[in-house]
Amino acid sequence: MKLNDTCSSKRRAREAGLPIPGVTGENNSITDVPGVLVGYTTLSSYADPLLQTGALPVQTGVTAILPRGLDKVPRPVWAGQFSLNGNGEMTGSHWVRDGGYLVGPVMITNSHAIGAVHEGAARWMVEHYADAWNNNHLWAMPVVSETYDGVLNDINGFHVTSDHALAAITMAKSGPIDEGNVGGGAGMICYEFKGGTGTSSRSIDIEGKNFTLGVLVQANHGIRPWLTVMGIPVGQHMTDARIPGFSTEHGSIVCIISTDLPLSSSQLERLARRASIGIGRSGTPGGNNSGDIFLAFSTANDMALPQLSSAWRNMTTLNDEFLDPVYLAAVESIDEAILNALFAADDIPTARPSGAMCKALDIDELLKILKKCGRI
């Protein structure tokens, strides 16, 4: 098992000179939302050859997002969920839509690792919140989502285990986090370039009070001709090194939106819907083979578990008339997070078909196209 806790030295989209709109948080990351932690377990047989047990390489992992950090007391967060195209999985989403909240970590991995990661996350909840779990009839229903990494990874080898999920949770931290070939994004492809994990954030002012919205994406979607950056269809000009067999979409994207704004579950569901516009800015129409699955949660309105609470609940929510800048922040952040995933990623050989290469985005070529078109 390879645990990745170092930060990439590659230029992010803003650092490379793209005039991306919006004011970011300190780290331009989902971890800019106070209390939110992110951890990874990255499995790569290129770094550790002993991981490979068959003919195909291992390039996969687990991403853990902890809305309440490592607090020992289980405290829910209000949440909302939306699927633009449901060709994928997000466990716990039925209860998020009905109950309006979630408890515990939010996990992302590959399509065949949902069960192992769910077991690991549930085991962590039972053990970490032992005082609450041992004295009450409580159930663990962690949120686990996925995208398909079988082009770059031996997905049928079932290399991700519950221990890898536990390790990702244990490694969770605040501050700047890695992007690209890390965690659940290790084996992902985005617009036929190497994709993976990306993050971004926005600072939002509401009547003189500052709030933060942060996103994390696992970008594994799109085909090359769709790729659009700063409004320019750059994928139509970047035609080299396309992956054989990618005439149609093969992947998905998971978007997690976090904020410390006090929002109701209904408002968070509407916020999650705006991820559709965010991913559309880079060109995807939400293809039939894509699982475009989104979750939004708010760390405001701190509360105890409903099973352990009194009959009444008090909460503050934002007036709907002030939601427009929140929606814009989510759209901009998701677009930027996808770019950051592309900018951070490294070349990886394909497992199927063997012998090809999933190339990282050529940043210099991209900048040249955008300059020629007057965008930078």
Annotated catalytic sites, by residue? 252, 290, 292
In which residue are the tokens 């466990």 written?
Answer: 91
Cβ(335)–Cβ(278) below 8 Å:
yes
Q: What is the DSSP letter of 120?
A: H
Cα 93 to Cα 98, 100, 145, 259: the distances in Å are 9, 10, 10, 18
Name the amino acid, one letter, at 270.
Answer: R
Residue pair 43/160 in contact (Cβ under 8 Å)? The answer is yes
- 3-class DSSP state for residue 370? helix
- Pair 172, 40: CB distance under 8 Å: no
Closest residue by Cα to residue 272 from 66, 124, 79, 98: 79
Secondary structure letter of residue 55 according to DSSP: S
Q: Are 226 and 242 contacting, i.e. CB atoms less than 8 angstroms apart?
A: no
DSSP helix/strand/coil, 185: helix
HSE (side-chain half, CA atoms, 13 Å) at 358: 33
Determine contact, residues 254/147, Cβ cutoff 8 Å.
Answer: yes
How far lies 73's CA from each of 69, 76, 201, 303, 308, in Å? 10, 10, 27, 11, 12
Query: Can you say whether the dihedral through the CA atoms of 166, 172, 178, 180 is positive or negative?
Result: positive
